[in-house]
């Protein structure tokens, strides 16, 4: 049977401590439900002793009725000089009534002296007493050894003594924490082996990414024999973040053959990653391994040609294994294979060796040289390809002329646009106001087009990005505008480039409406 690895997700607790991360109670409930569906072993909901929000979360989380995952509350050992039963923070851990309680305690003799300001013996008693008290109330107890790797390097005998104190109290799991995130994989592996020799309970690992080694350290511990790994989705967390579970899980399951989550769940990994980013209001990192939009993106012509023939040539796994997809990019580095595969993805049949393919590639390279980019503008690319194939890639309307002016006093300015549009040979003039020149221009164009093409009434601009090309030219520099449009069901990107911001925007807007009509 395949070796099993427990996945302990601390996105809702350690992850929420990251810069710019703010989860509401509803946010945390949504993520917990998604983690349950995905099949992690543990979901750490928060620290009930630290804020009222986490207390409310645990109260409402009872309605989730988790079956696959066990809900854990997080806290610390009792304070020095106080019995565990009398410690308010420990009492709070029991009051939220979770099946699992995770507590941390000091492993480093240095921290015992300088932070707790107590004797080494008192620290051992704090660990042992707290775990025993929680166990006496029927809880599964996960003990996190704070600064475990650093403490083991400072004084290995005392570090192991703290772990044994937790086991003597009845801890079900002992987890080594690389709290400062500065250890090396060999050090983590050695500390893991020492813990496994000394303990008779499962050993886990909790790493941070301060040295860029969060994933490497977690895998080093698992390879040394740990059977429990803690981390967060997308690696969010304190400072530079926690170990990223979206990388640990596929590395363990696909590369090592260890069982972490149900096989079917792994195909939902990309969805889960982007779901968490969405709830956290973060833009997904396109270069995130495994689940990023660029993780299986191919741009170089030789790469694309090879992948077309043999996908493993430049892909370490099938993208679908983690719910991702292959992306073929087109640019001045593209070959004909790029064009063919991208056209197929856009639903356009094209012959690799046809003159149309060659002419489309030639135009693409010229446009790229002039500052155009089609990586996020698939609709503009589709229109270009259709033009070369003679398949109505031209818009069924033409903007004959336009004029944009700004009016108003200080603090109350608005813009007005006048657009002359030719539709089937007939010209019309429309005027509209807007919050800015681009908004006014779009409103005026829409007014003209919707009368002839009613279905465009559902189309809206949902994103607008501007990039200055060749900043040394100052305000005369070329501008690239990328617009995202949507009809409520699908969305598409278009691009425009010009020395004039309004003209670049208009080109992207026109392509957006033309694609909707195509």
The span from the CA of 62 to the CA of 414, in Å, is 52
| Per-residue pLDDT tens digits for 80-113 | 999 999 999 999 999 999 999 999 999 999 999 9
The predicted pLDDT at position 34 comes to 95
Residue 290 in domain: no
Q: Answer yes or no: do 426 and 343 share one domain.
A: no
Of the three residues 279, 314, 342, the one that is the final residue of a domain is 279
CA atoms within a 13 Å half-sphere pointing along the CA-CB vector of 350: 30
Residue 388 in domain: no
Average pLDDT along the chain: 89
CATH number of the CATH domain containing 72? 3.20.20.70
Query: What are residue 244's phi and psi, to 5 degrees?
Result: -85, 115
Q: Answer yes or no: do 335 and 422 share one domain.
A: no
Are 352 and 340 in contact, with CB atoms under 8 Å apart? yes
Q: Which residue has the tokens 């639903």?
A: 347
Cα angle 346-348-350, degrees, rounded to a multiple of 5: 130
Q: Answer yes or no: do 69 and 125 share one domain.
A: yes
Question: Based on the structure, what is the number of domains in the chain?
Answer: 3
Q: Is the dihedral of CA 350, 355, 356, 358 positive or negative?
A: positive
Of the three residues 279, 305, 323, the one that is the final residue of a domain is 279
Q: Is the dihedral of CA 328, 333, 339, 341 positive or negative?
A: negative
Residue 285 in domain: no
User: For the packed helices 185-198 and 214-224, what is the interaxial angle rounded to 10 degrees?
Assistant: 30
The span from the CA of 214 to the CA of 212, in Å, is 6
Residue 455, classified by CB atoms within 10 Å of its CB into exposed (0-12), middle (13-18) or buried (19+), is exposed
DSSP structure class, residue 501: H
DSSP structure class, residue 183: -
Residue 288 in domain: no
Q: Answer yes or no: do 193 and 226 share one domain.
A: yes
Residue 395 in domain: no
The predicted pLDDT at position 294 comes to 78
Cα angle 93-46-81, degrees, rounded to a multiple of 5: 40
The predicted pLDDT at position 409 comes to 63
Q: Answer yes or no: do 362 and 479 share one domain.
A: no
Q: Answer yes or no: do 470 and 443 share one domain.
A: yes
Torsion of CA 340, 342, 346, 352, to 10 degrees: -10
DSSP structure class, residue 362: H
Q: Answer yes or no: do 266 and 129 share one domain.
A: yes
- Pair of tokens at residue 115: 């932070």
Low-confidence stretches of the chain (pLDDT < 50) are 332
Residue 289 in domain: no
Q: Answer yes or no: do 155 and 264 share one domain.
A: yes
Q: Are strands 228-231 and 6-9 parallel, antiparallel or unpaired?
A: parallel
Range of the domain at 468: 400-517
Residue 311 in domain: yes
Cα 516 from chain centroid (whole Å): 30
Of the three residues 346, 369, 392, the one that is the final residue of a domain is 369
The predicted pLDDT at position 245 comes to 98
Q: Answer yes or no: do 268 and 323 share one domain.
A: no
The predicted pLDDT at position 227 comes to 98
Q: Answer yes or no: do 315 and 234 share one domain.
A: no
DSSP structure class, residue 79: P
Q: Answer yes or no: do 259 and 132 share one domain.
A: yes
DSSP codes, 16-46: GGSTT----HHHHHHHHHHHHHHT-SEEEEE
CATH number of the CATH domain containing 438? 3.30.160.270
The predicted pLDDT at position 490 comes to 84
Residue 390 in domain: no
Q: Answer yes or no: do 224 and 139 share one domain.
A: yes
Torsion of CA 312, 316, 320, 321, to 10 degrees: 130
Nearest Cα to 175, choosing from 135, 197, 206, 221? 206
The predicted pLDDT at position 311 comes to 64
């Amino acid at each position: 049977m395949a070796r099993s690895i427990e996945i302990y997700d601390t996105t809702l607790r350690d992850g929420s401590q990251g810069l710019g991360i703010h989860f509401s109670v509803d946010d945390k409930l949504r993520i917990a439900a998604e983690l349950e569906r995905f099949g992690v072993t543990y979901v750490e909901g928060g620290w009930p002793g630290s804020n009222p929000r986490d207390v409310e979360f645990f109260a409402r989380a009872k309605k989730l009725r988790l079956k696959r995952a066990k809900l854990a509350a997080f806290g610390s050992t009792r304070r020095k000089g106080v019995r565990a039963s009398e410690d308010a923070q420990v009492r709070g851990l029991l009051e939220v009534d979770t099946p699992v309680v995770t507590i941390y305690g000091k492993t480093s003799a240095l921290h015992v002296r300088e932070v707790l300001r107590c004797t080494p013996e008192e620290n051992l008693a704090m660990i042992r007493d707290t775990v025993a008290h929680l166990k006496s109330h029927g809880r599964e107890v996960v003990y996190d050894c704070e600064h475990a790797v650093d403490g083991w390097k400072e004084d290995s005998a005392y570090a192991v003594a703290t772990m044994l104190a937790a086991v003597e109290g009845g801890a079900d799991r002992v987890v080594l924490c690389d709290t400062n995130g500065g250890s090396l994989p060999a050090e983590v592996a050695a500390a893991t082996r020492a813990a496994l020799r000394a303990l008779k309970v499962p050993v886990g690992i909790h790493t941070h990414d301060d040295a860029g080694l969060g994933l490497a350290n977690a895998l080093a511990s698992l390879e040394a024999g740990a059977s429990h790994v803690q981390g967060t989705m997308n690696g969010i967390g304190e400072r530079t973040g926690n170990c990223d579970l979206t990388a640990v899980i596929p590395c363990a399951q696909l590369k090592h053959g260890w069982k972490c989550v149900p096989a079917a769940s792994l195909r939902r990994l990309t969805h889960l990653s982007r779901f968490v980013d969405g709830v956290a209001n973060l833009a997904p990192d396109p270069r995130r391994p495994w689940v990023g939009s660029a993780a299986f993106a191919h741009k170089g012509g030789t790469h694309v040609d090879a992948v077309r023939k043999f996908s493993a040539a430049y892909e370490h796994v099938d993208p679908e294994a983690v719910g991702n997809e292959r992306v073929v990019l087109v640019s001045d580095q593209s070959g004909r294979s790029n064009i063919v595969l991208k056209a197929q993805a856009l639903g356009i049949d094209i012959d690799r060796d046809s003159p149309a393919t060659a002419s489309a590639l030639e135009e693409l390279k010229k446009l790229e040289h002039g500052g155009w980019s089609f990586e996020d503008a698939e609709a503009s690319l589709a229109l270009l390809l259709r033009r070369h194939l003679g398949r109505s890639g031209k818009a069924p309307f033409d903007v004959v002329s336009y004029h944009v002016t700004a009016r108003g006093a200080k603090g109350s300015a608005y813009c007005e646009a006048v657009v002359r549009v030719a539709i089937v040979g007939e010209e019309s003039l429309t005027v509209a106001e807007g919050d800015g020149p681009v908004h006014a221009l779009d409103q005026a164009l829409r007014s003209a087009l919707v009368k002839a093409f009613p279905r465009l009434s559902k189309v809206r601009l949902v994103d607008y990005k501007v990039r200055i090309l060749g900043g040394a030219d100052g305000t005369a520099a070329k501008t690239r505008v990328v617009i995202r449009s949507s009809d409520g069901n699908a969305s598409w990107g278009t691009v425009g480039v010009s020395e004039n911001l309004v003209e670049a925007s208009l080109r992207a807007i026109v392509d957006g409406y033309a694609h909707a009509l195509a």
